Amino acid sequence: MQAQIDVAEYWQLMDQRAVVKTPRSTRNVAILLCDGFSLFDLGLVAEVFRELNQSTVAACTADSRVSITMISMRGGYVTNSVSVRIRTDAIDEHLTERFDGVFVLGGASENIASVDPADLRALRRLLVNAGSVKWNDQGWAVIAASGYEPTTENFASLVGQSVNSSLSAALSFIPGSLYTEISHKIMRHVVAPSLDLSYVDEDGLNEVSVVDRVHAAAQWITRNCRRAISVAQAAEVARMSERTFLRRFKVVTGKTPSEHLLDARFEMSCRLLRETTLPVDKIARRCGMSSGERISRVFRKRLAQTPSEYRAAHRATGRSA
């Protein structure tokens, strides 16, 4: 049995005190929901915008507030990971509109292959018109499938140390003056309790365990695998010396940081090969691998086949790695 939630009802559930709707000059942000999206992630995003709107009310800076529009490829009800359905507008209804930001909350990756190419073209138009485009880990696949090329600023803004890619992307909408206040509130009240992490205050009164720091660094590596990142940077994320980081990472995850990075790049390239028609060389660069030659070596070593052979096999059968 599935529950059906209207958008307005949902936002009231997130905050009984105020539905995100503002009378004065506001930034217009669209959240694009894909089938199978995570309700937890949507909740995190909603909390970020709710905190932003409340903070800006307090600070009387209405131009920093956001108005949210929930959309999906076809509109209507979108089903998430726990079978709660949320009503959305179709992209087509907003094609003439220019959003200040579009947030793509991706879902189960196997659904992307079944998306109508016309819908992907509409999505691309929406993204091209938008002021900025953000996405969570799963959202990237649908953006790539649409053919939209993110700007370097959009990529750069996602370089963070947050424990969740949806949260990290949502926080990148926050103006610099409010960023610290809001990210700390969310970490303290939402993320830390839900993930059973002890939150680290700026004054360092509460310490996060070594295991949590290693996991945070591992997630940072996964999220940033498309960039040229180093073990030294990952060690900084974990706030350890490189030597200790290498030692701890191996104990906690069973592999070295560079193996973890290569795994993340390999999985990403597999997904793009299955779900897009991008040339192998372009996929290699998007996945942080220097060239087609490099990605071929990785595929030969791991699967004893070339990226093209992998794509042909998985296009034909629809299987995933």
Partner DNA sequence: AACTCACCCCGCCACA
Partner DNA sequence: ATTGTGGCGGGGTGAG
Which residues contribute to the site for DNA (CB under 7 A)? 210, 230-232, 240-244, 246-248, 250, 256-259, 289-291, 294, 297
Q: Which is nearer to DNA, 115 or 234 (CB)?
A: 234
| Two structure tokens written together for 230 | 């180093």
Nearer of residues 118 and 232 to DNA, judged by Cβ:
232
Pair 133, 102: CB distance under 8 Å: yes
Chain-centre distance for alpha carbon 37? 11
Between 241 and 277, name the residue whose CB sits nearer to DNA. 241
Rounded least distance, CB 230 to DNA, Å: 4
Contacts of 275 (CB under 8 A, 6+ apart): 109, 112, 113, 141, 144, 145
DSSP string, 8-65: HHHHHHH-TT--S--SSS-EEEEEEE-TTB-HHHHHHHHHHHHHHHHHHHHHT-GGG-
Calculate the alpha carbon distances from 48 to 45, 174, 178 in Å. 5, 8, 11
Is 166 or 296 the residue whose CB approaches DNA more closely?
Answer: 296
Q: Measured between alpha carbons, how far is 51 from 62 in angstroms, rounded to an integer?
A: 13
Least CB distance from residue 67 to DNA, whole Å? 43
Task: State the minimum distance, in angstroms, from the CB of residue 32 to DNA.
Answer: 34
Question: What's the closest the beta carbon of residue 273 comes to DNA, in angstroms?
Answer: 18
Least CB distance to DNA at residue 92 (A): 43
- Taking the complex as a whole, how short is the minimal distance between the CB of residue 225 and DNA, in angstroms? 12
Whole-number minimum distance, CB 232 to DNA, in Å?
5
The smaller minimum CB distance to DNA, of residues 148 and 245, is found at 245
User: Do 239 and 280 form a contact (C-beta atoms < 8 A)?
Assistant: no
Look at phi and psi of residue 26 and say left if phi exceeds 0, alpha if psi is from -120 to 50, else beta.
beta
Closest to DNA by CB, 52 or 295: 295
Q: How far is the CB of 291 from DNA (least distance, A)?
A: 6
Q: Which is nearer to DNA, 29 or 287 (CB)?
A: 287
Q: Which helix (H) or strand (E) holds 102?
A: strand 101-105
Cα–Cα dist 117/140, whole Å: 17
Q: Which residue lies nearer to DNA by CB, 52 or 284?
A: 284
99 CB-near residues (< 8 Å, 6+ apart): 28, 29, 30, 69, 126, 129, 130, 131
The bridge status of strand 3-5 relative to strand 84-90 is parallel
